[in-house]
Amino acid sequence: MKLELHRLKVNALAWGERTSLVGGRLTIDGEALRSLLAEDSRFRSVALDLALPGDKVRLIPVKDVVEPRCRLDGGPLFPGFVGDVETVDEGETVVLEGAAVVTCGAIVGFQEGIIDMTGPGAEYTPFSKTCNLVVSLEPVEGLEKHDYEAACRLAGFRAAHYLANAVRGVAADSVETVVWPPLSEALSAHPGLPRVAYLYMLQSQGLLHDTYLYGVDVKRILPTLVSPTEVMNGAIVSGNCVSACDKNSTYAHQNNPVIAALLRRHGREINFVGCIVTNENVTLADKKRSSGQAVKLARMLGVEGLLISEEGFGNPDADLIMNCHRAEAAGIRTVLITDEFAGSDGASQSLADATAEATAVVSAGNANARIVLPPMERVIGFPREANVIAGGFEGSLRDDGSIEVEIQAITGATNELGLGRLSAVTV
């Protein structure tokens, strides 16, 4: 399996009569794109805005962030949503690097986020550094919340595909190639190096807590093995309303830093043999079922090490710790990636569960830390949602337009894939 990512660098956005990319400047035909998205009868209105690094602009409430991409051959991307459900583990894909589609809309799950393009809040989100096309979507009267979320999700994918497809004839600035061998070859490759797999936990805790694999809600699956090229090429997309700080946006899945780090070390320090996708469940029986199946797959692969990343906090902490305990009991060494909810002073217990075997843990930061976001010259979206957003409180939005919140409310602030901008040191 060979995947080529044809990267076109984007460093500026502008409106124009047709969508084109020249010298890193992406010009967008706003009317054509708005007409495309307005074909969905579930929307009462569709508004488009631009938000660039350094702009005194706030986006609220953010639902998803998607990197613009399309298949060079016109094949499916975001399978199950845009295009057919054919596998996406190989081929040639156009990537508009530096650009992002950000969807905003009326709050539904109380856990959408904030992106500030400048100021102290911008230091906590990776999306203050991307050139953002913001799609603000209002539903028709009486539309059910889950239908509204589904419509917003699809709109983000369609907008991202439209941008990349419109410029796919432009020569790439660089081409990243990943060749992934058949499993029989992978398992016997690189003798002498420790065999390592990645256990990829995905949010799936109920309505509005959804993640999709090839268009299937992962709460409906047993853990399964996927190649890193499938993840890199849009097989996994976000559909959840968990807290903005550690929600894995679709952009985060497309650019998973864990997979990138494992690929960089593959063949030199480790033998990376694949990704085990698992879900995060609500009932104890479901947690046991998924944890048991995930560790069974790791044992079948004969791995010595398992890197485990979490999505969310609280209830999913139990899944994380169960996965760790079962793997360690099977003789597989684990490293966990999580964030912390340790109170605003950092003195409370960081995770809702624990085990003695969790001796190697990477922290993405304390999401309860508080921050005051200064007023911006322009707000795209619905600023009063700051009073009900997760990490906010009644009175978070002040009369002068500033907002006091926990960094939990900032999109990507403590991302558990490592896409955030915080770092940690051992002291």
Enumerate the active-site residues.
241
Spell 321-359 as b/e; 16+ CB within 10 A means b: bbbbbbbbeeebbbbbbbbbbbeeeeeeebbebebebbe
Nearest to 210 by CA among 312, 127, 287, 294: 312
How many Cβ atoms from other residues are within 10 Å of residue 36's Cβ?
A: 16
Spell 154-166 as b/e; 16+ CB within 10 A means b: bbbbbbbbbbbbb
Length of the chain: 427
Number of H helices, E strands in the chain: 8, 24
In angstroms, the CA 125 to CA 104 distance is 16
Backbone angles phi, psi at 409, to 5 degrees: -85, -5
How many Cβ atoms from other residues are within 10 Å of residue 412's Cβ?
A: 28
Tell me: cis bond preceding 61? Omega within 30 of 0 counts.
Answer: yes
Pairing of strands 271-279, 361-366: unpaired
Structure tokens at 307: 């890197």
Q: Give Cα separations from 30 to 14, 33, 230 (angstroms).
A: 9, 5, 31
Q: Which amino acid is at 123?
A: E
How many Cβ atoms from other residues are within 10 Å of residue 221's Cβ?
A: 17
Question: What's the number of CA atoms in the CB half-sphere (13 Å) around residue 143?
Answer: 20
Structure tokens at 111: 């856990």
Nearest to 308 by CA among 336, 285, 329: 336
The answer to whether 337 and 420 are in contact (CB under 8 A) is no
Nearest to 207 by CA among 194, 217, 221: 217
Structure tokens at 110: 């109380």
